[in-house]
Amino acid sequence: VPDRAIQSVKELAEAAFREYLRDRGLKYTPPRRAILEAVMANTEHFEAEQLLLDLRQRGDRVARATIYRTLPILVNCGVLKAVRLGEKMVHYEQAFGADPHDHMICQRCGRIIEFDGRDVLRLRTVLAERYHFHDIAHRFQIMGTCKKCIESLPIASRPFVASSRKPSKERRKSSG
Amino acid sequence: VPDRAIQSVKELAEAAFREYLRDRGLKYTPPRRAILEAVMANTEHFEAEQLLLDLRQRGDRVARATIYRTLPILVNCGVLKAVRLGEKMVHYEQAFGADPHDHMICQRCGRIIEFDGRDVLRLRTVLAERYHFHDIAHRFQIMGTCKKCIESLPIASRPFVASSRKPSKERRKSSG
DNA sequence: ATCCGTGCAAAGTCTTTGCAAATTA
DNA sequence: TAATTTGCAAAGACTTTGCACGGAT
Task: Specify the pLDDT at position B87.
Answer: 67
Strands B101-106 and B134-145: parallel
Alpha carbon of residue B19 to chain centroid:
23
Q: Is the CB of B156 under 7 A from strand D?
A: no
Q: State the pLDDT confidence band at A159, using cuts at 50, 70 and 90.
A: low
Q: State the pLDDT confidence band at A98, using cuts at 50, 70 and 90.
A: low
Strands A91-94 and A101-106: unpaired
pLDDT above 50 (res B176): no
Residues 72-91, chain A, touching B (beta carbon < 8 A): 84, 87, 90
Q: What is the mean pLDDT of residues B84-113?
A: 81
Whole-model pTM: value is 0.76
Instruction: Specify whether the CB–CB gap between B102 and B114 falls below 8 A.
Output: yes
DSSP one-letter string for B19-67: HHHHHTT----HHHHHHHHHHHH--S-EEHHHHHHHHHHHT----HHHH
Q: State the pLDDT confidence band at B157, using cuts at 50, 70 and 90.
A: low
User: Which letter, b or e, does each residue of B44-80 get, where b requires 16 or more Cβ atoms within 10 Å of its Cβ?
Assistant: ebbeeebbbebbeeeebebeeebbeebbebbeebebb
Residue A165 pairs with which residues in a beta bridge? none
Nucleotides of C under 7 A from a protein CB: 3-9, 13-18, 23-25
Instruction: Specify whether the CB–CB gap between B120 and A141 falls below 8 A.
Output: no
Q: State the pLDDT confidence band at B40, using cuts at 50, 70 and 90.
A: very high
For residue B168, which phi and psi values (nearest 5 degrees)? -90, 180
Q: What is the pLDDT of residues A118-155, one digit of tens each?
A: 999 999 999 999 999 999 888 899 988 888 888 887 77
Q: What is the mean pLDDT of chain B?
A: 82
3 state SS for A128-158: HHHCCCEEEEEEEEEEEECHHHHHCCCHHHC
Counting beta carbons within 10 angstroms of the beta carbon of residue A104, is it exposed (0 to 12), middle (13 to 18) or buried (19 or more)?
Answer: buried
Radius of gyration in angstroms for the set of CA atoms belonging to chain A, rounded to a whole number: 20
Q: What is the mean pLDDT of residues B82-100?
A: 79
Alpha helix (H) residue ranges in A7-132: 9-23, 30-41, 48-58, 64-76, 118-130
Task: Specify the pLDDT at position B10.
Answer: 85
> Gap from B82 CA to C13 C1', in Å?
20
A36 or B167, higher pLDDT? A36
Task: Specify the pLDDT at position A126.
Answer: 96
Q: Does A150 touch chain B (CB under 8 A)?
A: yes
Taking CA atoms, what residue in A is nearest to B146?
A133
Give one word for A142, left, alpha or beta, with left for phi > 0 and alpha for psi -120 to 50. beta
Q: Residues near B132 by Cβ (< 8 Å), separated by ≥ 6?
A: A146, A147, A150, A161, A163, A164, A175
Which nucleotide is the nearest neighbour of A28, by CA and C1'? C24
Q: Does A175 touch chain B (CB under 8 A)?
A: yes
